Amino acid sequence: MTRRLAVIGGDAGGMSAAAQARRTDPSLEIVALEKSEWTSYSACGIPYVVSGVIDSIDELVARSPQEHRDRSRIDVRTRHEVEAIDVAAGRLDVRDHGHARTIQVPFDLLLLGMGARPIRPDVPGVDLPEVHGVQTLADAASLLRRAEASECRNVVVVGAGYIGLEMAEAFVIRGARVTVVERGAHVMRTLDMEMAAPIEAAMRRIGIDLRLGVDVTGFEPGTVHTSVGSLPADVIVLGLGVEPNADLAAAAGIELGVRGAVHVNRRQETSVAGVYAAGDCAESWHIVSQRPVHVALGTVANRQGRVAGTNLGGGYATFPGVVGTAITKVCSTEVARTGLTEHEATTAGFAFVSATIDSTTIAGYLPDAPAVTVKSLAERGSGRLLGAQIVGGQGAAKRIDVFATALHAGFTAQEVFDLDLSYAPPYSPLWDPITVSAKALLAVL
Amino acid sequence: MTRRLAVIGGDAGGMSAAAQARRTDPSLEIVALEKSEWTSYSACGIPYVVSGVIDSIDELVARSPQEHRDRSRIDVRTRHEVEAIDVAAGRLDVRDHGHARTIQVPFDLLLLGMGARPIRPDVPGVDLPEVHGVQTLADAASLLRRAEASECRNVVVVGAGYIGLEMAEAFVIRGARVTVVERGAHVMRTLDMEMAAPIEAAMRRIGIDLRLGVDVTGFEPGTVHTSVGSLPADVIVLGLGVEPNADLAAAAGIELGVRGAVHVNRRQETSVAGVYAAGDCAESWHIVSQRPVHVALGTVANRQGRVAGTNLGGGYATFPGVVGTAITKVCSTEVARTGLTEHEATTAGFAFVSATIDSTTIAGYLPDAPAVTVKSLAERGSGRLLGAQIVGGQGAAKRIDVFATALHAGFTAQEVFDLDLSYAPPYSPLWDPITVSAKALLAVL
């Protein structure tokens, strides 16, 4: 008897699970239910559509519904929104928006890939059409319309995290006057404070009006109200991060975990046998802190989806976890982090030392060698690397992957120092900034 | 009683050992003997002086003799050439070129840092002044004079390794007509053949006349004779690699090892107690092949020097070894390698699989995403990573450091695939080329 896998959500987590389940078990019947019209798209690319660097939203689609049908025999149904899960009966209630009807979809196996939604501040006016998330291709289309409109003069971005900063720059490129309002004392709260200063300087250099320590108190058409006065706003962008879309799971009695994400084991299985979760709606395991975390990143979603799909198809796979790697760019300033920040290391209970060094990304004697600052943390006693943060010019940020690999390996500062890293003048000083950083850690350990 | 450390050679290996010995033991008397006028310079920077990218040879000097005297209390004697070592007596015979006399320098501890010399083909005319090595700042000065001379029209580079290709490009930038003559069937013999093709294409695109499978048979003023005819040559550059300067050590009865380099243990001590060696004249330990190798790189020289210096100062340190990382640039084509090539893996006795993948260094939907090719090798059975090679556009080559770190960690292809690498559209496709490469390895394993 053919078994049916139902997949809720047609983006990275859901569709990578579906495709992998298909590869693992060719006999499986697979139906994927997606409430929008799109599948498998790059939300991370939205700022580049808004800025005009990418010509069309279509370029963000890695695989269309039809491609999933053709290549993986997945019955993708778009504009189908799951409204309830009955895990005991093995049945979904699904709203078919195209035909304005509600249908029931039975399943033997279920994959939750509902993703995440932008965090919306609890203030008046937050549901106005001027207030945009940056999550779906519908968001992208709507933001693009606004960006291209000639009356788009003033843009207010609420929150100075990754997507907030990327969107701020995108609207600057479009010629808008951009204000970023951030409640905290510095931008990029996933970095330690002193690493944020050069990013703030870079933002101000391109004319972004950055307001730190300011609360948003409400929205009105054309205006954002804050704790220190009102700002004109033709477009308002939410950059406060995301929260898991796990309401359906909670309503079905499936256990939630950290930050309300669906709790999963290492095989991506939820508290209900046969029900798996992957991507932004699910927990991840943090290898350094040895705690569950909620990470909303396309890479993690795809990896978890592959693991879930293998298990759903009858194979065996586990998700090894994350080390907390992230990277972005603000104008020509590159920013990256991995592992734990000081705050995160403290929260996780580690005693640690830290060291911050300045270097260049290429040999210092070459003209215009870009500057780079590297901060790294190591555990007291053991000397084990706990995390690193990099801010600098061209060639700076991707170096974070070496630290990430060292975290996977559980390397000490000495082992990082000993790495046989590549050297040639156009690529690095004789001592790579990573090596210099490890040496500085050794000096304080 | 004060003990005296004598250091032979004033570049990376020698002076980093001297400086580290000083840090470790402030009471040590340290004398460093250097036959040229320079200390602690970047030979890797010579192509950038010749091309004119760097204004002056002085910029390549990291620390002058006077700086070593002032900062580290090292008695640096330039234009002092050691002619013989008497290990039993603890005494050096030294030619003081400045005063045209020979002196004797007693020592309690000795550091051999004689470096390496360009390999010279055994053909007539090889000692002509037109035939240049690319090793010392005297070489740099002489090459720069030639490059700036208006009669420098035709340049022949013998050998298509790292330095050969970098010098070829430097002379192209200077406006010369450049021919590269290589005995082998492809350039960059430290890469597998198929990875060399895009490098050869890049060379030809900038007008380099590349002659593969051609032997040099002799030199005459103005002419290079080859197995397929003669080439006009105002300047001839040796790019055949280097060999260790170990004759002094051999004559003193100190054991030599692989490729004639001074044999050392993990503390950089030679076969004679109290005599250490570091840098291009010494062996290194290859972590992947678990064999001694000869590596002539500034990074390795500095690392070995630090280790030797710590031990010479009475401390304890070991050199963990290399994984064979190297990187270069030919025009805008980036090239890097680490670990073992197919040939090296075979020689070391490994059974392996390999996989080669094509990707882009940034998200494929961004305009002008540079192409990248990654080849990686893993051991059959264990799946352990053995090596990787990368050729591609901007952002390609420095990724080799992730593979290098994975080799230090002894990671399998699965562990490389599982790495939480950074992702954002301006930095990488959703699946980093490294991840794609590991996935391809897993598919063949």
Say yes or no for a CB contact (<8 Å) between B367 and A421. no
In this prediction, residue B150 carries a pLDDT of: 78
Percent of chain B topping pLDDT 70: 100
Edge-to-edge strand ranges of the sheet holding B385-392: B326-330, B333-339, B385-392, B371-379, B352-360
Say yes or no for a CB contact (<8 Å) between B401 and A422. yes
Q: What pLDDT digit, counting tens, does each position of A258-281 carry?
A: 999 999 999 999 999 999 999 999
Say yes or no for a CB contact (<8 Å) between A402 and B401. yes
Q: What pLDDT digit, counting tens, does each position of A326-365 carry?
A: 999 998 899 999 999 999 999 999 999 999 999 999 999 9
Nearest-angstrom CA–CA distance, B440 and A432: 29
Percent of chain A topping pLDDT 70: 100
In this prediction, residue A166 carries a pLDDT of: 95
Nearest-angstrom CA–CA distance, B143 and B157: 12
As given in the structure block, the two tokens for residue A216 are: 């948003």
> pTM value?
0.96
Q: What pLDDT digit, counting tens, does each position of B364-379 carry?
A: 999 999 999 999 999 9
In this prediction, residue A331 carries a pLDDT of: 86
Q: Closest Cα of chain A to B364: distance in Å?
A: 9
Q: Closest Cα of chain B to A58: distance in Å?
A: 10
Q: What pLDDT digit, counting tens, does each position of A38-82 carry?
A: 999 999 999 999 999 999 999 999 999 999 999 999 999 999 999
Amino acid sitting at position B211? R
What is each CA distance from A272 to A263, A295, A309, B181, in whole angstroms? 10, 22, 16, 68
Does A1 have pLDDT greater than 80? Answer: no
Q: What pLDDT digit, counting tens, does each position of A89-136 carry?
A: 999 999 999 999 999 999 999 999 999 999 999 999 999 999 999 999
Q: What pLDDT digit, counting tens, does each position of B20-62 carry?
A: 999 999 999 999 999 999 999 999 999 999 999 999 999 999 9
Say yes or no for a CB contact (<8 Å) between B420 and A300. yes
In this prediction, residue B152 carries a pLDDT of: 80
B324 neighbors B295 (Cβ within 8 angstroms)? yes
In this prediction, residue A435 carries a pLDDT of: 98
Q: State the DSSP H helix or E strand holding residue A438, giving kind and residue range, or none if neither.
A: helix A433-444
- Three-state SS for A65? helix
In this prediction, residue A137 carries a pLDDT of: 93
Q: Closest Cα of chain B to A46: distance in Å?
A: 10
Does B403 have pLDDT greater than 80? Answer: yes
What is each CA distance from B286 to A261, A410, B289, B345, B408, in whole angstroms? 46, 21, 6, 12, 10
> Which chain B residue is nearest to residue A296, measuring alpha carbons?
B423
Q: Quickly list DSSP for B207-268.
A: T-EEEES--EEEEETEEEEETTEEEEESEEEE-S-EEE--HHHHHTTPPB-GGGPBP--TTS
Does A380 have pLDDT greater than 90? Answer: yes
Asked about B152 being catalytic, the answer comes back as no
In this prediction, residue A152 carries a pLDDT of: 80
Does B433 have pLDDT greater than 80? Answer: yes
Which residues of A form the catalytic set?
44
Q: Considering just the CA atoms, what is the radius of gyration of chain B in Å?
A: 23
In this prediction, residue A151 carries a pLDDT of: 79
Does B1 have pLDDT greater than 80? Answer: no
- List the one residue out of B284, B166, B322 whose CA is nearest residue A426: B166
A323 close contact with B: CB closer than 8 A? yes
Does B118 have pLDDT greater than 80? Answer: yes
Amino acid sitting at position A397? A
Nearest-angstrom CA–CA distance, A169 and A61: 22
In this prediction, residue B129 carries a pLDDT of: 93
Say yes or no for a CB contact (<8 Å) between A398 and B422. yes
A164 close contact with B: CB closer than 8 A? no
Q: What is the mean pLDDT of residues A395-419?
A: 98
Q: How far from chain centre, in Å, is Cα A141?
A: 20
Say yes or no for a CB contact (<8 Å) between A365 and B54. yes
B179 close contact with A: CB closer than 8 A? no
Say yes or no for a CB contact (<8 Å) between A299 and B430. yes
3-state helix, strand, coil in chain A (%, to 5): 30, 30, 40
Does B219 have pLDDT greater than 80? Answer: yes
> Which chain B residue is nearest to residue A395, measuring alpha carbons?
B395
Task: Tell whether the torsion through CA atoms of A162, A165, A166 and A168 is positive or negative.
Answer: positive
B325 close contact with A: CB closer than 8 A? yes
Nearest-angstrom CA–CA distance, B166 and B188: 11
> Which chain A residue is nearest to residue B409, measuring alpha carbons?
A409
Q: What is the mean pLDDT of residues B341-349?
A: 97
Q: Closest Cα of chain B to A313: distance in Å?
A: 18
Q: State the DSSP H helix or E strand holding residue A327, giving kind and residue range, or none if neither.
A: strand A326-330
What is each CA distance from B236 to A210, B129, B279, in whole angstroms? 58, 9, 27
Which of A162, A384, A405 is best to mutate for the B interface (most B CBs within 10 A)?
Answer: A405
Does A171 have pLDDT greater than 80? Answer: yes
In this prediction, residue A265 carries a pLDDT of: 97
Does B173 have pLDDT greater than 90? Answer: yes
Which chain A residues contact residue B303 at CB under 8 A? 418
- Judge residue A119's burial from the number of C-beta atoms within 10 Å of its C-beta, 0-12 exposed, 13-18 middle, 19 or more buried: middle
A117 neighbors A135 (Cβ within 8 angstroms)? yes
Q: What distance, in Å, lies between the first and last C-alpha atoms of chain B?
A: 62
